[in-house]
Structure 1
Amino acid sequence: MREWSAPALPAGWTTSGQPPFIARHEEVAALESAWADAVGGAGRAVFVSGEPGSGKSRLVSEVCIRLRESGAAVLAGSCIQELGTPFEPFDEPLRVLLPAYRAQAVNPSDVESGELLERVLERTGQDAADRSMGQERVFAAVIDVLRAAAMSRPLVLALDDLHWAGPAAIQLLSRVVEGAADAKVLLLGTLRNAPPDRSDALADTLASLSRLRGVLRLDLDPFTVEEITDYVAIRAGLSRAGARESAELLRELTGGNPFLLRAMWRPVVEAERQGDQRVIELPDSVSDIVRSRIATLDLAQRSVLGLAAVLGEEVDLGEVIGISATSVEVTLEAMDAAVRTRLIEPPRVPGDRYRFAHAIARQAVIDLMPGTDVLRTHARIAQVLEAEFPAAPRLIQRLAHHYSAARALGFGDRAVTYLVRAAQLAQDRVAYEDAGRLFERASEITPDADERAELLLRSAASWHMAADTPQARRLYERVTVESGNPRLRVRAAIGYEDASWRPGLPGHRALELLSRALASVPPDETDSLYIEALGSVARATAFTGAIDEAELIGDRAVELARTRDDPHVLIAVLRSTSSMTLRPSSVAKRQDRVRELLPLVRPTGTEWIGAAAVQFGGNAYLLGDRAGMDQAERDCVELGRRWSRHHWDYWVGCVRFLRALIAGRLDDAATACQNVQRHESSFRSDATASATALQSYMVRRESGRVERVRPLISGTESAAEHWAPGLLAIYTELGLSEPASRTLDWMLEQVGPDAGNSSDWPGRLAFMTEAAIWLEDVRAAERLHPWLSDYTGLNLMSGLFVAPFGPADLYLGRLESLLGIGSPGVRFERALELAERSDAALHFARTLGATAEHLRRTDPSSEEASAFAARARAIAEPAGMVKVLRELDVGTAASAPEAAGGLTARECEVIALIAQGRSNRDIAAQLVISEHTAANHVRNILTKIGAVNRTQAAMFARERGLT
């Protein structure tokens, strides 16, 4: 973005009549230092907080004036106390930048960002919402524009009164601070930090942002007596000594509040000059000041002043004239009188508005009005604006605000109408948090129970779109409890379940709500709502662990949905029933459903594409469908581009992690894992388990970096107090046989009848199998074999894209080779074929190595085994597959006759104990294996070395240095 024209500074910052700027020397220095950093390319954000009237806005405006003189482009935005527009205060700066950005946009992404923001900013609520772009994509577009503007000219973004910002704007604020961290941008925000104006949502966001380098918080303290002395001396033309006494009294009266000081200094100084002892009777509150000034106005003028106060902090004279109940002449005179009282400031430039001297003064005027007058004023404003000012700015939001305030006078229905329209506008502008809040606010006003439930459902859906599933579930559950309409309760229960499964919550509560809701409606299998609810019941049932029951219910729901001419219900049922489980027995059926679902949801452009793509990609890996994985990755990338939500960036990272790892691109896998970790910590979720911990381990073990944790491992860790599969995997990698054997036995004891329903069961199986093979634990291998057989022909994967272990037939072949059963060679052939289909060089190399190991088990000098090992090494060495290479080295060493007579690592341990004169029972106890397994090892050793008894075996061990 080339040179662009910065607008003039706000008129209120630069016109004459401003009080002198005093004190705040440290704060000014901090802001100027932050600017110097920003100019150097290290973006900064400074948030200035304090009580009302503490001088926050004046500090920021004063610094901005100075920075503009030094070449900064200053863009100002502000929030209003009433119902504002979505993304306020960013809308004003963006409207300045967008024309230049769009005119100079060249690449498709920039063009798309410009078009998207223009649609979002200019939507009037009359057009249909575009659901093909997500909120995070809007946020990304804002950052694109700001960064582009700052590339040609360092930028100051001054955002006032952030405590009144809506929830979507607060989300955007967080993204902008993070996204501009390396741009020439200084963000200055002001906010009140005390009730009643304190924003908890903003406070939470600032607390989170405070962890970032370059984010600073400045809390403004009241003026000291010395600072007030400087102020009085300048304003009154006195010496500091002459101003001191007045300053001390002003400090006592105002508490050092700059706004009160500005209002009170003159009468205090004049009283001091005249020796007036009544100075102690000066007003000691803003209301008292305002009351004394209002007292100079007549009744009609007071009415106009009150109207202006209710209209807003800034008021359009035309609206005041149109709404005022008095004549034009009286209204104009009233505005002039209000200016003379210094409660209202006149327009500073042609076309400007009247504005209250401070929000404090405006609120004080409203506080002094009788409550019924305030209600009647809100009602009159709403009625006149609605009838006579169709082009008024923020009309929908203003009508929603004024009718809501006047609802006690019988305007509740109008309030609901405009709150809903404002919510729809927020939804159309992708401000889902704002929409959720407005729909809920409308629900609190309507007296109609069904309408209230309907509005709560719309609110919940908006919060769900904002990825705030806890808030969505709260509202859905409320409808299931409060509504007397059975069908609305069913819809709410469906929504609750949909807001539960993606965070991975147990399905018990969702199933309870669904069952209760369905009990109140007829079980009509021609009813689309009933069918959709069945699909939700199926998934909720699955998330309770009852997979078999869930699949029966799901099959019936799909069958019924296909008979209906209702795309929505078919989509909903296919979604729910394709994401119930990762069990191997139904993977092909699940994939067929996702394959049916994707063409239905792809034209919608919604996030449903992503949910389907994630499932499709996961199933494609299990089945070894490379084209399916490619398509899933493309869908996730496109959805991430259009929605830019951390949620989808997370899944894109997960898919890329899996593809890189199985292809043996370990550096790329490590980078993808880091990206996944960043996104995992950014998007909101109820899930507490971290997928990246296991992903990171998978990379480290393949690249041979597990050894680094050895100093942290004692071997005495409790399997019950740690994640046992991970503990077992580390023991196995580090070669700690006794702890590995103990942990393996513990894990086998914990396996229950429903273990296979867990998404991490394949990972548990893989880690247990690897340990059993390394330990040559025949008893464990015999237990594991039938469980692994369920996965014949499939790849093993823990979770979705978390830990890919490769072909189950590879693990089955190694078990069968150890046990001397089945057809290991056939298993390995199938595993190689699946690895090739999966584009998985890592799995292919490991299977080649396992084949060599099997062949040497029966013939230590097998040339065919050497050929397989050579092929594996040719793949592993260039890719840095350290784990594969180490396994190959162990196999080679074991096969060398001069080294160990073809003995395995475990057999070397056994023959060393034989040489010590140990019995089979002693060997079993020492190696924590069964006596039967020890006897098998002894027989295998005697066969391999050609010994006829244990004495000859002992001699062999001593000769070969195995003792």
Structure 2
Amino acid sequence: MRDWSAPALPAVWTTSGQPPFIARHDEVAALDAAWADALTGAGRAVFVSGDAGSGKSRLVSEVCTRLSAGGAAVLAGSCIQEIGAPFEPFDEPLRAVLPAYRADAAAASALESAELLERVLEQTDQDAADRSTGQERVYSAVVDVLRAAAERRPMVLALDDLHWAGPAAMRLLSRVVEGTTGSRMLLLGGFRNSPPDRSEPLADSLAPLARLTGVQRIELSPFTLDQIADYVVIRAGLSRERALDSAEVLRELTGGNPFLLRAMWRPVVEAEQRGHQRVIELPDTVSDMARSRIAVLDETQRSVLVLAAVLGQEVDLAEVLGISEASVEVTLGAMDAAVRGGLIEPPRRAGDHYRFTHAIARQAIIDVIPATEVLRTHARIAQTLEADFPAAPRLVQRLAHHYSAARALGFGDRAVTYLARAAELAEGRIAHDDAGTLFVRAAEITPDTEERAELLLRAAESWDLAADTARARAIFEEASEVGNARQRLRAAIGYEDASWRPGLLGFRARDMLTTALAAVPADDEDPLYIEALGALARATAFTGAVDAAEPIAARAVALARARGDPHLLAATLRASITLTLRPRDVAGRLDRATELVGLTRSAENDWLGAAAMHRAAFSYLVGDRVGLDESERHLDEMSRNWERHWNYWIECVRFTRALAAGDLDGAAAAARRAQHRESIFRDDATSGASSLQSYMVRREAGLLGSVRPLISGNESPTDRWAPGLLAIYTELELERPTRRALAWVLEHTEAQPSDSSDWPARLVFMTEAALWLGDVDTAEVLHPWLAEYAGLNLMSGLFVAPFGAADCYLGQVESLCGFGLPAERFDAAFELAERSDAPLHAARALAAHAAHLRRSDPRSPAASALATRARAIAEPAGLMKVLRSLDAGAGASAALNGLTAREREVIALIAEGRSNRDIAAALVISEHTAANHVRNILTKIGAVNRTQAAMFAREHGLAGDGG
């Protein structure tokens, strides 16, 4: 980004009339230290809070003015109390730096960011809502521009009155703070932290930022007696002793509030100089002060002042003259009188507006005016602006505000109209949070139930686009209770769509859809009816009834095809591919997902993400490397354009691909990024997926030993995820706990387990336990469940736990149990791993095949060759689980070579569960000799007990030799 020039500082900071700056020494020192850190590239954010009038703006202006004189580029923005522009207070600072960023945008991504922000900042009332890009992409573009600007010039971003910021700006604030921690930028934010101005949404936005090193909070306290005396010395030119007398009175009257001190110091000092001991007649509240100053104005002047106060903090004289019922001369005289009374400040330079001395003064004037007069003033302002000021800034938002305030006078319909238009403007600027808020406000006003339902539907859609699915569901549910039958059906469809993406159970969505569908004709030509069928199918599947859901989905897709409507077909396909990950008809779902990608490739929404996500999942299952590559590219595109939850899912895909490739460091990094991003977009995110991803990496890296001290072996399977507990026991080789947990998980397996997304993990963990234990009976039970996945990769959830080819596990089970064609299974597993570009899975298949061959021939050259190939993959990548299995196989081969013929007979009898006495009788030897043989066998094979010896015998084809 080329050099850029900062705009002039706000006139209110630099021209005469500013009160003296006193005290706040610690606060200034803290801000100076933050700036020093920012200059080194360690971005800082300092939030200054306090009561109204506590001096927040004065502190910020003093520090910014000084830093500007020292070479800092200062960008200032503020919020207004009424309906502001989307992303206010960031809009003006962005306008200051965007031209330079745009002119120097060489990279395609930089040009894209510049063009996006230009559209967002300059969007007009006539522009259509932009549905091609997500809100998070706007936030990323803002961060890109600010970071580039700070790279060229150290920068202070001063944002005032954040307690009035809209929800989209609050979310952007968090992103900017997090995204500029490595930039030469100091963000200064000011806000009120006490009722009635305290903003709970702002507090919620700031709370997570407290964990960041560069974020600091400064809360301003009232002036002390000595500080008030300092102020009086400067303003009145009194001695310190005399100033203390006035300071005591001022402290009692003002409580140390700087704004009140500024308003009251003169009459108090004058009263003290006249010898008054107590200034009882002075106002003791801001409202009283305003009342006393208004009292000196005549009726016409007072009405002009009220008009100005209702217009806003800053007042355009042209608008005052156009709206005032008094003549131009009288109106100008009234403004001059308000200036003389200290209620309004005049323009400080050409092009400036009149402004109230403080928001407190403005609000105090409104508070002392009868409510009916305020309502009439709002109505007069709205009508005049609408008729005579078509080019007024923020016209739509201002009309929405004034008509809303005047709705009791019969302007409710105008309020609804302009609130909806303001919401549409926010939509066009991709400020979906703001749009949702404004649509709800409009819905609360209209008496028409169908209009209310329509506004609620639009509000819910906006919150859904803002990735706040919880709020979207609540509003969709509210909309389902009003309006006509078709609106209730749309609400039910919307509720279901906002439910399946966070993975919620579908019972409530199914019930809403069933009720709504019953109220409309069952018309196979009706697009809404067809779309509702698709939604009902998915909701039904998310109750666990996949078999019942699939025919509903098939019918919806068929009806959509018959209609020839690409959007409708995309909606039904999107529902149908998300029903289940079970193995049956994976190829068909992959075909539908691929078709959906084609339909949504140029869509102005994020449906491409769902298409790409499920195409990626099905491609992994069948080993379609090309489909997986293309899906990852599409997800990356969605992540850049929409972010939301797509940047979580792209990391999950990257996790799976890195793990399958044997890149354990890359897999661990992707899992950490996925966990962080899930916590951002989903409030109800749990640690289940991230814990399983972490486990998958750690077990392949051989790093599970560190948890051994935390495992007693007596953990309750009902208090934890039992399959995970079983997996830990198996990896730690805890025999008795493994048997107990395996029996529990097997006993609690449902009738149709493959309908559950976590079934593959449960199935694999049970299989691995049975194989380690040499539990032939359990392995035989598991075999038909594994056989459902023959020819496919196993994956739990959507890229949570990839296990590779089911054929590898089938081969191991068949080898243990002594049936089937294990060698062919291992060959198929290796071929699938090669097709999937999955070296980890390939190494596992080679190692398992080698172990199988050694069962019948411990000296098998083919087994050694396979083991060598597996080791060549595993050693460079540090795949310790694979290497451990290879070492165990090599050790077993050596142990087998060391067993005598008699010891082979003995171990076969151990495998049958014979005691030493039984062995002695069977072999016609003494019990003492039998005991010696058992001892020698345990030593040679490295077993610690007879159970492990029995497992060794079964695994290496020795069982039965003692016949």
Does residue 1:885 correspond to 2:883, yes or no? yes
Deviations 1:925-949 (A, max 9, x none): x9xxxxx999986986997499657
**Correspondence for 1:929:** none
User: In the alignment, which residue of structure 2 is the partner of 1:957?
Assistant: none
Asked whether the 8 Å contact 1:894–1:901 carries over to 2, the reply is no
Larger CA deviation: 724-733 vs 115-124: 724-733
Residues 558 and 21 (structure 1 numbering): CA distance in 2 closer, same or farther, change over 3 Å? Answer: same
1:368-383 to structure 2, matched below 5 A, reads: 368-383=368-383
Structure 2 equivalent of residue 953 of structure 1 = none
Contact kept, 8 Å, 1:901 with 1:944, in 2: the verdict is: no
Q: CA deviation at 1:683?
A: 1.5
Aligned partners of 1:240 and 1:909: how far apart in 2?
Answer: 105
Provide, for residues 626-657 of structure 1, a one-character-per-residue CA deviation record: whole Å limited to 9, x for no partner: 00100110001111112233x11111111111
User: What corresponds to 1:479 in structure 2?
Assistant: 479
- The aligned amino acid for 2:713 is G
Query: Structure 1 residues 160, 919: closer, same or farther in 2, change over 3 A?
Result: farther
Secondary structure of 1:849's partner? helix
SS in 1 for 2:190: strand
Deviates more, 1:74-83 or 1:12-21: 12-21
Letter in 2 for 1:770: E
- Contact 1:44–1:181 (Cα < 8 Å) also in 2: yes
Partner of 1:956: none
Matches within 5 A, 1:599-638: 599-638=598-637
Q: Which residue of 1 aligns with 2:871?
A: 873
Show the counterpart of 1:182: 182
Specify whether residues 278 and 766 from structure 1 end up closer, same or farther in structure 2 by C-alpha distance, changes over 3 A only: closer
Contact 2:658 2:666 in 1 (8 A): yes
* Aligned residue runs from structure 1 range 703-782, under 5 A: 703-782=701-780
**Cα 1:254–1:911, aligned 2, differ >3 Å: closer, same or farther?**
same
1:41-100 deviation digits (Å, cap 9, x = unpaired): 111111111111111100111111111122211110000000000000000100100111
1:265/1:504 CA distance change after superposition, 3 Å = same
Question: Given the alignment of the two structures, is residue 24 of structure 1 paired with residue 24 of structure 2, yes or no?
Answer: yes
C-alpha deviation, 1:560, in angstroms: 1.2
Cα deviation, residue 882, structure 1: 1.2
Q: Secondary structure of the residue that 1:181 maps to in structure 2?
A: coil
Change (3 A) 1:72 1:823: same
Contact 1:545 1:754 in 2 (8 A): no
Q: How does 1:947-962 map to 2 (within 5 A)?
A: 948=962
SS in 1 for 2:391: coil
Paired with 2:950 and 2:656, the residues of 1 have a C-alpha distance of: 39
Distance 1:334 1:271 in 2: 28
- Give yes or no for contact 1:542–1:581 (8 Å, CA) kept in 2: yes
Aligned ranges 1:331-342 → 2 under 5 Å: 331-342=331-342
TM-score, with normalisation over the residues of structure 2?
Answer: 0.95
Gaps of 5+ in 2: 921-930, 939-945
Match status 1:821 vs 2:822: no
1:796 alignment partner, SS class = strand
What is the SS of the residue equivalent to 1:424? helix
State whether structure 2 residue 203 is matched by structure 1 residue 198: no
Three-state SS of the structure 2 residue aligned to 1:516 is helix
Flag the 1:739–1:826 CA change in 2: closer, same or farther, 3 A.
same
Aligned partners of 2:908 and 2:510: how far apart in 1?
56
Determine helix, strand or coil for the equivalent of 1:5. coil
User: 1:227 and 1:581 mapped to 2: Cα distance?
Assistant: 69
2:156 is the counterpart of 1:146: no
- Structure 1 residue aligned with 2:507: 508
Q: Measure the CA separation in 2 of the matches of 1:95 and 1:520.
A: 51
1:691 to 689, 692, 708: 689
Which residue is equivalent to 2:522? 523
Match of 2:36 in 1: 36
CA distance in 1, matches of 2:62, 2:650: 46
Q: Which amino acid is 1:561 matched to?
A: A
Partner of 1:438: 438
Instruction: Please tell me the residue identity of whatever aligns with 2:395.
Output: L
User: Which blocks of at least 5 consecutive residues in structure 1 are unaligned?
Assistant: 927-931, 950-963
In the TM superposition, 1:830-849 aligns within 5 A as: 830-849=828-847
Query: Judging changes above 3 Å, is the alpha-carbon distance between structure 1 residues 679 and 943 closer, same or farther for their aligned structure 2 residues?
Result: closer
Quote the residue 2:923 is aligned against: none
Structure 1 residues 909 and 722: CA distance shift in structure 2, 3 A = farther
Letter in 2 for 1:423: A
Q: Are residues 352 and 820 of structure 1, via their aligned partners in 2, closer, same or farther at CA, if it must alter by over 3 Å?
A: same
Q: Which residue of 2 aligns with 1:394?
A: 394
Residue 808 of structure 2 is matched in structure 1 by: 810
> Quick check: 679-688 or 400-409, which moved more?
679-688
Q: Does the 8 Å contact 1:423/1:435 carry over to 2?
A: yes
Deviations 1:513-567 (A, max 9, x none): 1111111112222211111111111111111111100111111111111111322
Residues 466-475 or 870-879, more deviating: 870-879
Corresponding residue SS for 1:210: helix
Any conservation in 2 of the 1:901–1:945 contact (CA below 8 Å)?
Answer: no
In the alignment, is residue 490 of structure 1 matched against residue 489 of structure 2? yes
Residue type of the alignment partner of 2:777: R
- One-letter identity of the residue aligned with 1:254: T
Q: Secondary structure at the match of 2:446?
A: coil
The amino acid of 1:783's aligned partner reads V
Deviation string, structure 1 residues 189-240 (Cα, Å, up to 9, x no partner): 1111111111110011111111211111111111111111111111111111
Q: Is the 8 A contact 2:413 2:446 kept in 1?
A: yes
2:804 partner SS: strand
Residue 583 (1) aligns with residue 582 (2):
yes
Q: In the alignment, is the contact (CA less than 8 A) between 1:86 and 1:431 conserved in 2?
A: yes
Distance apart, 1:415 and its partner CA: 1.0
8 Å CA contact 2:909, 2:962 repeated in 1:
no
Higher mean alpha-carbon deviation, 258-267 vs 63-72, is at 63-72
CA distances 1:87-141 after superposition (whole Å, capped 9, x unpaired): 0000010010011111111111111111111110000131222222211111111
Relative to 1, partners in 2 of residues 1:901 and 1:328: Cα closer, same or farther, differing over 3 Å? farther
Which range moved further: 774-783 or 366-375? 366-375
Q: 1:548 to 1:246 in 2, by over 3 A?
A: same
Which whole-Å CA distance do the structure 2 matches of 1:901 and 1:90 have between them?
83
Are residues 170 and 704 of structure 1, via their aligned partners in 2, closer, same or farther at CA, if it must alter by over 3 Å? same
Sort the Cα spacing of 1:847 and 1:917 in 2 relative to 1 into closer, same or farther, 3 A: farther
Contact 2:856 2:956 in 1 (8 A): no
| Aligned partners of 2:651 and 2:671 also within 8 Å | yes
Q: Report the 3-state secondary structure (helix = DSSP H, G, I; strand = E; otherwise coil) of the residue aligned with 2:601.
A: helix
Deviation (angstroms), 1:828: 1.4
Distance 1:508 1:75 in 2: 51
Change (3 A) 1:257 1:629: same
Q: Secondary structure in 2 aligned to 1:280? A: coil
Whether contact under 8 Å (2:910, 2:949) holds in the other structure is no
Q: CA offsets, 1:123-163, max 9 Å, x none?
A: 01312222222111111111111111111111101100000
Letter in structure 2 aligned against 1:191: F
Q: Determine if contact 1:45/1:214 at 8 Å carries over to the other structure.
A: yes
Which residue identity lines up with residue 190 of structure 2 in the other structure?
T
Once residues 681 and 792 of structure 1 are traced to their aligned partners in structure 2, the CA distance between those partners, rounded to angstroms, is: 36
3-state DSSP of counterpart to 1:584: coil
- Whether the 8 Å CA contact 1:432–1:466 is kept in 2: the answer is yes
Q: Compute the displacement of 1:315 (Å).
A: 0.6
CA offset digits 1:161-195 (Å, max 9, x no partner): 00000000000000000001111111111111111
Percent of pairs identical after alignment? 66
1:947–1:812 CA distance, 2 compared to 1 (3 A): closer
1:898 is displaced (CA, Å) by 3.4
For residues 183 and 910 of structure 1, the distance between their equivalents in structure 2, rounded to whole angstroms, comes to 70
Question: One-letter code of the match for 1:486?
Answer: A
* Aligned equivalents of 2:795, 2:257: Cα separation in 1: 64
| TM-score normalised by structure 1 residue count | 0.95
Tell me if structure 1 keeps the 8 A contact 2:608–2:638: yes
Alpha-carbon distance in structure 1 between the residues aligned to 2:119 and 2:274: 63
Q: Distance in 2 between matches of 1:522 and 1:907?
A: 74
One-letter amino acid matched to 2:878 = G
Partner of 1:115: 115
> What is the CA distance between 1:914 and its match in structure 2?
6.4
User: Aligned partners of 1:408, 1:605: CA distance in 2, in Å?
Assistant: 40
Deviations 1:391-446 (A, max 9, x none): 11111101111111111111111111111110001011010000000001011111
Aligned residue in 2 for 1:960: none
Q: Give 1:907 shift.
A: 6.8
Q: CA deviation at 1:277?
A: 5.1
| CA distance 1:709–1:340, shift in 2 (3 Å) | same
Aligned to 2:419: 419
